[in-house]
Amino acid sequence: MECCEARDHLAELARNRLEPDLADAVRAHAAGCVGCADALRVEAALHALIRERAPRYAAPPALRARVQAALRKSEVPISSGWRAWLSLHPWMGTGLAGALVALIAVWVGTTWLAADPVARLVSRALDEHVEYAREAMHRPAPNPVDLLATLRSQAGFALGPLFPGDAEVQLISTKTAELRSKPAVALVYRNGPERYATLLLMPGADATIPAEDRLPIESFKPYHRVASGKQVLYWKQNDLACLMVSDLDGPATAALFLKIRKAA
Ligand SMILES: [Zn+2]
């Protein structure tokens, strides 16, 4: 057996999932191959770590594929158990151990997000916001009436009245998007230099706004959270679920929320 073939089976071997003949062949190769023996130890340690940290979830195939890719690319020698090696070399953040820890952190984070749909939505909205704000940087404000007319024709669902901006806040761009495999639209507002807010709207008759963590703003009580240093508000208006991610501070976010909410 060649190394490349052995490596393809190490993860399954570490989990005792190989047919006996194939398991024997992989073990026989690893017995005479230092690289594959080390890789097998990493797989076993990873398997143990995953079982220990997140016993309720099975490792998704995508995570395993990425770990295997990291193993193949890595030239970091691993002479003893991975866990011991990691504790002895905590500064090797860019090495194999760092890559594995990062992958596990992403994966555990993702499973946590899957268990909390609002968190998943917020996480996705944060990503979109950062991307939109970067695109909108230095862009002159187009005519908001044209922007909104184009958006309405592309949205695929009724948007109702929308805040077109005012002397303080400019509507910079609009997008059609998809969130949780549903159509959505995004409106990007600029409120001062390098201060952006992204408003995501999606059909929301069936959306549930969490009952806790509500922030009273005048007579309204949107759901509120701070995530990655951004203000996040989530509420329903008409039949839309509305999620705003903002670079602004709390009071400025509340002021923008009122403009958006009262326009509807
Ligand atoms: Zn080998």
Which CATH number covers residue 187?
A: 3.30.200.100
Give residue 29 CA to ligand 1 midpoint distance, Å.
6
Give residue 1 CA to ligand 1 midpoint distance, Å.
8
Please indicate, yes or no, whether residues 147 and 167 belong to a single structural domain of this protein.
yes
Please indicate, yes or no, whether residues 121 and 250 belong to a single structural domain of this protein.
yes
Which pLDDT value is given to residue 69? 64
Boundary-marking domain end, from 71, 94, 114? 114
Please indicate, yes or no, whether residues 99 and 144 belong to a single structural domain of this protein.
no
Is the predicted pLDDT of residue 102 greater than 80, yes or no?
A: no
**Where in the sequence is the domain holding 54, given as residue range(s)?**
3-114
Q: Would you say 125 and 179 are in contact if contact means Cβ atoms under 8 Å apart?
A: yes
In degrees to the nearest 10, what's the CA dihedral of 129, 122, 163, 176?
Answer: 60
- Residue 5 tokens read as 């073939």
Please indicate, yes or no, whether residues 24 and 47 belong to a single structural domain of this protein.
yes
Please indicate, yes or no, whether residues 9 and 55 belong to a single structural domain of this protein.
yes
Give residue 2 CA to ligand 1 midpoint distance, Å.
6
- Which of residues 89 and 38 earns the better pLDDT score? 38
Q: Which of 216, 225, 204 is nearest to 258 (CA)?
A: 216
Give the number of domains in the chain.
2
Please indicate, yes or no, whether residues 125 and 63 belong to a single structural domain of this protein.
no
Give residue 5 CA to ligand 1 midpoint distance, Å.
8
Give residue 39 CA to ligand 1 midpoint distance, Å.
9
- Residue position matching structure tokens 């070399």: 89
Please indicate, yes or no, whether residues 45 and 9 belong to a single structural domain of this protein.
yes
Q: pTM for this one? A: 0.57
Give residue 26 CA to ligand 1 midpoint distance, Å.
9
Q: What is the pLDDT of residues 174-188, one digit of tens each?
A: 888 777 667 889 899
Please indicate, yes or no, whether residues 15 and 82 belong to a single structural domain of this protein.
yes
Please indicate, yes or no, whether residues 167 and 251 belong to a single structural domain of this protein.
yes
Q: What is the pLDDT of residues 154-177, one digit of tens each?
A: 998 999 999 999 999 999 988 887
CA separation for the pair 56, 237 (Å, rounded): 37
Boundary-marking domain end, from 98, 114, 130? 114
Q: Could you give the residue ranges of the DSSP H alpha helices within the chain?
A: 3-14, 20-31, 34-53, 61-73, 82-88, 96-115, 117-136, 144-155, 250-263
- Which of residues 49 and 81 earns the better pLDDT score? 49
Is the predicted pLDDT of residue 91 greater than 60, yes or no?
A: no
Please indicate, yes or no, whether residues 159 and 193 belong to a single structural domain of this protein.
yes
Q: Which of 87, 73, 16, 1 is nearest to 39 (CA)?
A: 73
Boundary-marking domain end, from 82, 114, 146? 114
Rounded average pLDDT over 212-241: 90
Q: Residue 169 is which amino acid?
A: V
Is the predicted pLDDT of residue 221 greater than 60, yes or no?
A: yes
CA-based end-to-end distance of the chain: 67
CA separation for the pair 115, 93 (Å, rounded): 29
Is the predicted pLDDT of residue 107 greater than 90, yes or no?
A: no
Note the Cα 65 to chain centre separation in Å.
Answer: 19
Ranking 42-51, 111-120, 143-152, 210-219 by mean pLDDT, the lowest is 111-120
Give residue 178 CA to ligand 1 midpoint distance, Å.
44
Q: What is the pLDDT of residues 37-79, one digit of tens each?
A: 888 887 777 777 666 554 444 455 666 666 666 555 554 443 3
Give residue 40 CA to ligand 1 midpoint distance, Å.
10
CA separation for the pair 91, 95 (Å, rounded): 9
Rounded average pLDDT over 13-29: 90
Average pLDDT, the chain: 78
Which pLDDT value is given to residue 78? 39
Could you give the percent of the chain with pLDDT greater than 90?
Answer: 32
Give residue 105 CA to ligand 1 midpoint distance, Å.
28
Please indicate, yes or no, whether residues 238 and 166 belong to a single structural domain of this protein.
yes
Please indicate, yes or no, whether residues 257 and 141 belong to a single structural domain of this protein.
yes
